[in-house]
Amino acid sequence: MKNNNKPLTLKKVAEILNCSTATISNAFNRPDQLSAALREKILTECKRIGYHGPNLTARSLRKGESGVIAVLLTDSLAYHFTDPVANQLLQGISEVLEKNNKQLLMLSSATNAQQTSGIEALPDGFIVYGSQDHNPLFERVVQQGKPIITIDFDIDEYPSVNIDNQQAAFDIANHVLEKKPESPAILGLRLIHSDRVCRITDDELFDENESISRRRLDGYLKAAEQHNYQIKSNRIWHVPKNTYELAKQAAHEALTSHPLPDCLICMSDNIASAALNIAREMNIRVPEQLKIVGFDDIPEASRLSPPLTTICQKSREKGKTAALKLIQGKLQDKTILPSQLVIRSSS
């Protein structure tokens, strides 16, 4: 099974089959350039001698395309594998790529921090997930002049796939505030730049910022206003990353703060799930004593007890849409995908 010979090259194959390299190349790339019979014969022969087609590196150097699509992620790859939302997104992307015979290369700014590998030259296109401020790799990607589509954030010149985060956030906050909780609090994701779980301050509250977190926060606060709530900045927690550990920490802080919240509006299902967990540990009944709502509708959301009220944002669909547009070269517009309030028993 093991193999230590060098793989065959097109040139050698041409020698063996006693014809020119162009003919072999054509057999693989341009069926119309030679007779079907000859092509068939060459292909069979190649299979027999163990030549599986042209080398990607050489072909890509020559043609300037590789069949590889890259996903550019903000954080470390490892983190994105833990995040259920990123996961669904990647599912959607890879479904489309596989169907279209494209390869998936995962790129993160974490990798190329110091040494540049030049990897950005390889892919034929890029799906960029999440804000890329100060990411040097992103700048090199832009330099390639290849198709780019962004997800969950916008850059003027590039097509993007998004949902209406503000409206969705408004909807879910509106839903839960209609129940007239006495002391609502917000567990927000990536609201500020700190690495720590913490509350935010008044001057941070009205930051101008186009990130999805800020749009969601705006939606929450708009709903609060309509219901005559004033949610102060010290009732808003910042969770730096969407991990279960950090979420638990924030939930614990919130549920041991005074006044005790009877309503937690969470910016991700992951955070909501952690909050549910803490509430159970503290023997706080949900939804009777505490209402909890999430965001995203990850698969786990409907399996929790109680099942989570949340915003269904079809991350998988987002991934599929972005990948499809990229592959089909439909790179004009900004796409807004629908999202939807899903009411379950946690509220």
CB neighbour class for 253 (10 Å; exposed up to 12, middle 13-18, buried from 19): middle
**Residue 334 touches which of DNA, its own copies, none (Cβ within 5-8 Å per kind):** none
Q: Is 115 in the site for its own copies (CB under 8 A)?
A: yes
Within 8 A by CB and 6+ apart from 28, the residues are: 43, 53, 54
For its own copies, the binding residue among 33, 201, 305, 340 (CB under 8 A) is 305
Q: How far is the CB of 59 from DNA (least distance, A)?
A: 4
According to DSSP, residue 54 is labeled -
Task: Select the span of 48-56, 187-195, 215-223, 330-338 touching its own copies (CB under 8 A).
Answer: 48-56
Asked if 209 interacts with its own copies (CB under 8 A), we say no
Residue of 198, 220, 302 lying closest to 265 (CA atoms): 220
User: CB of 91 within 8 A of CB of 322?
Assistant: no
Interface pick for DNA out of 1, 4, 6, 203 (rule CB under 7 A): 6
Q: Are 53 and 60 in contact (CB under 8 A)?
A: no
Q: Give whole-number Cα distances, 228 to 182, 221, 231, 234, in Å.
A: 12, 10, 10, 18
311 belongs to the binding site for its own copies (CB under 8 A): no
Residue with token string 């409907």: 302
Paired tokens of 194: 């700190």
From its own copies, DNA, none, interface partner of 19 (C-beta below 5 to 8 A by class):
DNA
Q: Residue 2: which of its own copies, DNA, none does it interact with, CB under 5 to 8 A by kind?
A: its own copies
CA distance linking residue 205 with residue 213, whole number of Å: 12
Number of residues that bind DNA (CB under 7 A): 27
CB nearer to its own copies: give 82 or 335: 82
Taking residues 50 to 69 in sequence order and writing x for each that binds its own copies by CB under 8 A, - otherwise, the string is x-xxxxxxxxxx----xxx-
Query: Closest distance between DNA and the C-beta of residue 121, in Å?
Result: 8
| Nearer residue to DNA within complex by CB, 40 or 333 | 40
Q: How far apart are the first and last CA of the chain?
A: 59
Choose from its own copies, DNA, none: what does 33 bind? Cβ within 5-8 Å by kind. Answer: DNA
Residues 255-284 that bind its own copies (CB under 8 A): 273, 277, 280
CB-count burial class (<10 Å; 0-12, 13-18, 19+) for 14? middle
Residue choice 16, 19, 43, 155 for contact with DNA (CB under 7 A): 19
The number of C-alpha atoms within 13 Å of 332 and in the hemisphere containing its C-beta is: 1
Count other Cβ atoms within 10 Å, centred on residue 121: 15
Q: Which stretch binds its own copies (CB under 8 A): 104-112, 226-234, 255-263, 285-293?
A: 104-112
Residues 24-63 touching DNA, rule: CB under 7 A, are 25-26, 28-30, 32-35, 38, 54-55, 57-59, 61-63
| Positions that interact with DNA (CB under 7 A) | 6, 9-11, 19-23, 25-26, 28-30, 32-35, 38, 54-55, 57-59, 61-63
